[in-house]
Chains A and B, each alone.
Chain A
């Protein structure tokens, strides 16, 4: 039956030719190459759970009176969107698990993208010929962040309404065109009744379509260019070593999909996320209430932290105002993603390295790049932590003013320290050839066919019967090439 179907398809589409090549496609065995797959599988979960949610969610801001089963909001006025979120959580069987899986998957999706980006950055995998895929990847990050923001804004609870208002105010602060931009994007002065419908279309149609399309391009380019690989015995710029797609890698990858989904399902059922019924409805007419501990989701947290640590400065001149939130809210993300987009070209300018690279750097092989990356990560980590300054303040009982002032200093000092420490750590690691997670110092001894022993030089060919594990271990002992 299966065979006949395959023949039927093949005679019409010529599938067997492609499948034959695809089955032999080689995937590197190193675990770090699977982080991107985690992100991809989270996207699958997001789409499946998201489609389910759209059957129940009502993207409308019209006012309704709640008569569902959650007692503490009986008779309350709220938007239809918020009411349908409550119904999803209380009335729709399995609805809450789906909603929570969707939200957890979004948080993990972005985390996995960031780790994947770090892997690509710190190993130099973005270099020629992979610049285009780097740009697509950064675009995917930006779009996923935006879509996450639109997604949690849809529920129209008190917390998300506050977040939308912050977004509106940042748009408003843009010089010259800010008022028009904010009015056109949000449909008029905030608060209004337009934005939920707009965000819904962006969240479920436009951005997902773009994300899926770009991911397709990302994978197609990867397929064409083949994976990078770490240096090792027998590995060159012109070959690729690893496992074939069929059968074992395919089975492992599908297994990973199941495990990723299992983790998200367990979180979705056992760990409560975004309990909108406790936040209460956002009242666009009054916009009066707020809640202590107003934070965005983590991937927007660094922006909120930047808003918090920014001192109260703004530019007022010639009858115009460049308002305070413009700098942390628009300039900072602009610079962040601008530099990310341009990084492959910036690095090329400084290293003068225009060659194609299929062999990866270990982070220590490029001390300056690694140190810059670590310093940048520390910068955004501090911003993220600063976004929780009120939570830190009440947990550690330090005045929020002191914490904010501390962050205003740390934000400059820590990245510099991290840069210096990382750079010198990379250099000393590169000198000593010691793998930070184990590995031995010293030379290897081999028994000769004649029965004697001899030290193995790094340039010796490997013994024919050596296992791959030996090769990898040996690869780590090879001297690193000089830093760029």
Chain B
């Protein structure tokens, strides 16, 4: 009996400790901007890397291969950096949704590949953003109007049709968020400068950075998946604990 009460106390105390520990700095990680693709040497190095891993789907000079991969001419440094730095490229199986995975290249190699792709034709450059600039509340409003429908209010992601998913945003860096806004990777629509100007993108980025560690003032956030996990907790933890208590009350000593 005593052990059971102690266990309950320990659980409550532990949860309290965890909740307290989670009060940490919430400012987003600032990453040095990698805006300008390098000179001819980098382009050449990138071309060599490209020849090894990318030609099957994107063609020898980035012209694309029918039914395998799109042309890379004019996709710009932003696209290349987004896909490579999130590990989405290289893709294991063509024509599936590219998902975030372990990054295959070193930062230097990524810069070289980005330089090569950027040299194929003019396209969006890598935006200069950090998680700290921009206006948080403005970012919240823009996020609600433009991003939350697919990525959910809390940035947890969500399902679209045909087994396509809006990814959770908790691992996206500020630069990657800005890149995605501008290039519209995969199923995502493009948000050009006339829809969201650079300042607004910075605000969105700031809010997305905030969502990586939102104000969970109420305690454990339950994955920010809304009423469904809440329902399970109510049944299993809440009513479950009470039913155990009732069974215990119903027993004799």
Contacts and interface: CB of A to CB of B under 8 A. Distances in A.
Is A in direct contact with B (CB under 8 Å) within the complex?
yes
Interface of A: 29-31, 34-35, 38, 70-76, 89-90, 96, 100, 104, 107-108, 111-112, 115, 158-159, 252, 255-256, 259-260, 263-264, 266-267, 269-275, 277-280, 288-298, 301, 384, 387-391, 393-394, 397-402, 468-469
B159 interface: yes
Which interface residue of A158, A272, A274, A294 has the most chain B CB atoms within 10 A? A272
Interface stretch (B74-82, B118-126, B147-155): B147-155
A394 B165 contact: yes
Contact of A30 (B144, B156, B238, B250): B250
Which interface residue of A255, A292, A394 has the most chain B CB atoms within 10 A? A292
A259 B153 contact: no
Contacts of A275: 154, 214, 216-218, 221, 224
A26 to B, nearest CB: 15
A201 B228 CA distance: 28
Given A31-B246, A31-B250, A272 B153 contact: no
B127 interface: no
B253 to A, nearest CB: 11
Q: Secondary structure of the A side of the interface? A: helix
Nearest to B214: A278
B215 interface: yes
8 contacts: A34-B246, A76-B137, A115-B239, A270-B219, A280-B140, A289-B144, A291-B144, A298-B231
Nearest to B143: A280
B227 A260 contact: no
A468 B251 CA distance: 12
Contacts of B36: none
A72 B238 contact: no
Interface stretch (B12-20, B37-45, B173-181): B12-20
Contacts of B214: 275, 278
A297 B228 CA distance: 7
Size class of the contact patch on chain B: 35 or more
Which interface residue of B210, B245, B247 has the most chain A CB atoms within 10 A? B245
Given A292-B152, A394-B159, A388 B228 contact: yes
Nearest to B234: A107
Given A72-B207, A288-B145, 5 more contacts: A271-B220, A272-B219, A275-B218, A293-B153, A397-B163
B165 A397 contact: yes
Contact of A391 (B162, B228, B242): B228
B252 interface: yes
Interface in B199-253: 207, 210-211, 214-222, 224-228, 230-231, 233-235, 237-239, 241-243, 245-247, 249-252
A398 B249 contact: no
Which interface residue of B15, B149, B246 has the most chain A CB atoms within 10 A? B246
Contacts of B148: 158, 280, 289-292
Q: What are the 3 tightest A-B residue pairs by CB atom distance, in nearest-first order?
A: A292-B158, A298-B231, A31-B250
A150 to B, nearest CB: 16
A278 B154 contact: yes
A272 B242 contact: no
A46 to B, nearest CB: 13
Given A96-B218, A280-B144, A394-B165, A290 B149 contact: yes
Contact of B215 (A277, A295, A469): A277
A263 B245 CA distance: 10
B166 interface: yes
A388 B223 CA distance: 15
A170 B36 CA distance: 55
Interface string B153-191: 110111111110110000000000000000000000000
Contact of B228 (A90, A266, A295): A295
A107 B239 CA distance: 9
Nearest to B245: A259
Contact of B227 (A278, A295, A398, A469): A295
A74 B206 CA distance: 14
B165 to A, nearest CB: 5
A301 B157 contact: no
A266 B228 CA distance: 19
Given A71-B136, A111-B239, A297 B227 contact: yes
Nearest to B221: A272
A301 B238 contact: no
Given A255-B249, A259-B245, A298-B234, A108 B239 contact: yes
A73 B136 CA distance: 8
A103 B64 CA distance: 54
B19 A398 contact: no
A90 B137 CA distance: 16
B228 A75 contact: no
Nearest to A401: B161
B31 interface: no
A266 B162 CA distance: 41
A279 B224 CA distance: 10
Contact of B245 (A256, A274, A399): A256
Contacts of B242: 38, 108, 112, 256, 259-260, 263
Given A104-B238, A255-B249, A89 B153 contact: no
Contacts of A108: 234, 238-239, 242
B171 to A, nearest CB: 15
Nearest to A89: B217
Contacts of B235: 107, 111, 298
B141 interface: yes
Which interface residue of B161, B211, B218 has the most chain A CB atoms within 10 A? B218
Contacts of A393: 159, 163, 165
B109 to A, nearest CB: 29
Contact of B233 (A34, A271, A390): A271
Given A30-B250, A31-B246, A263-B238, A293 B137 contact: no
Contacts of B151: 292
A76 B140 contact: yes
Given A90-B217, A263-B242, A301 B140 contact: no
A35 B247 CA distance: 10
A387 B226 CA distance: 12
B158 A293 contact: yes
Contacts of B15: 270
A333 to B, nearest CB: 18
B137 A401 contact: no
A260 B214 CA distance: 30
